[in-house]
Amino acid sequence: MTDQHKTALIFGISGQDGAYLSQFLLKHGYVVHGTSRDAETSGFSALTSLNIRQRIFMHSAAPTDFYSVLQVIARVAPDEIYNLSGQTSVGVSFQKPMETLESIAIGTLNILESIRFLVRPIRFYNAGSGECFGDTDGQPANESTPFRPRSPYAVAKSAAYWEVANYRDSYGLYACSGILFNHESPLRPQHFVTRKIVAAAARIARGSNERLLLGDLSIRRDWGWAPEYVEAMWAMLQQEKPEDFVIATGVSHSLEEFVATAFSFSKMNWQDYVHRDPSLLRPSEIHCGFGDTRKATAKLGWMPRTLMPEVVERMMKAELPTLDETGAQEP
């Protein structure tokens, strides 16, 4: 079957990854369907910003409701399902652990069970997370690295990962997880620290006298470019056999480096505007996390093309035109 005749169903289509994945699949000739808890009232601003909202078929579905999930999969009859849904913020997961666990672990289980129940040759991609590895003592994490989750979000993602592995092994489903490290873009919501930094730096560059409050600037993360990471998601479902893959740049940078890069874009010294706020520290934190993508390169032919400095530059270029003359965010 060629891509031009394939149908994809994306749970969590309204987020950053859902929007870029939709754009990628449409370019490859897919018919794309997506879900939202209330498709009639959702704004789908990320899809709209990419000018693809009208090309996607939307359905109302709650991933935590098994019959809701079963009905939409039966109705769409997709060739591929991408599960990007669930509460996606590590910080918020400490405040809402139950919602995080249910939306990720139960949501994933409902999709897997629906595929098994329908007995159709559906290929399933599940969004895993590099957060599952926890601290790895300064070593890059690969597909064999043990999970040591340090947040409710990471616990939930770890549970979903093992659900996928169990259904693949027990029932022969074509199901795999992409263990993705941090990947950013202008479509990141502002409650994510990377977009918070970029948005504040852009406002300050335009004259705002605000201070940017951040927690631990010493943490190190592996930051990539989101549009490249959705290519890896798709590539995983094109393999003869389902396998899990780590997707990352393989390079770690401190949050301080990320901040400095954002402010230097407008020739500013970040230390003049950034203040540490102890209240923003998490109950537990990963000091350093980055990934080893040799398996993805060898089997998928995937390699990161954009590293952190260019990621920040692209985000800043996108952010500055969205500010009006007063420095306020334009609608």
What's the rounded Cα separation, in Å, for the pair 157 and 70? 22
Name the least confident of 28-37, 267-276, 317-326.
317-326
pLDDT beyond 80 at 40 = no
Q: Between helices 255-264 and 193-205, what is the axis angle to 10°?
A: 30
- Mean pLDDT across the stretch 235-248? 98
pLDDT beyond 70 at 328 = no
Over the stretch 83-131, which tens digit does the pLDDT of each residue have? 999 998 898 999 999 999 999 999 999 999 999 999 999 999 999 999 9
In single-letter form, the type of residue at position 316 comes to M
Residue intervals in the chain for CATH 3.90.25.10: 189-221+252-288+307-322
What's the rounded Cα separation, in Å, for the pair 275 and 286? 21
Do 164 and 108 form a contact (C-beta atoms < 8 A)? yes
| Angular region, 137: left φ>0, alpha ψ -120 to 50, beta rest | left
Architecture of domain 3-183+223-247: 3-Layer(aba) Sandwich (3.40)
Name the least confident of 51-60, 152-161, 162-171, 277-286.
277-286
Residue 43's CB: how many other CB atoms inside 10 A? Answer: 10
pLDDT range class, residue 5, cuts 50, 70, 90? confident
pLDDT range class, residue 324, cuts 50, 70, 90? low
Architecture of domain 189-221+252-288+307-322: Alpha-Beta Complex (3.90)
Residue intervals in the chain for CATH 3.40.50.720: 3-183+223-247
Strands 220-221 and 253-254: antiparallel
pLDDT beyond 50 at 279 = yes
Question: Is the pLDDT higher at 322 or at 114?
Answer: 114
Q: What pLDDT does residue 331 have?
A: 44
Q: What pLDDT does residue 326 have?
A: 45
Q: What pLDDT does residue 42 have?
A: 66
pLDDT range class, residue 327, cuts 50, 70, 90? very low
Residues 26-36 as b or e (16 or more Cβ within 10 Å = b): beeebbbbbbb
Do 144 and 111 form a contact (C-beta atoms < 8 A)? no
Catalytic residues: 129, 131, 153
Do 327 and 203 form a contact (C-beta atoms < 8 A)? yes
Name the least confident of 43-47, 49-53, 192-196, 297-301.
43-47
pLDDT beyond 60 at 272 = yes
Q: What pLDDT does residue 136 have?
A: 86
The per-residue pLDDT of the chain, averaged, comes to 93
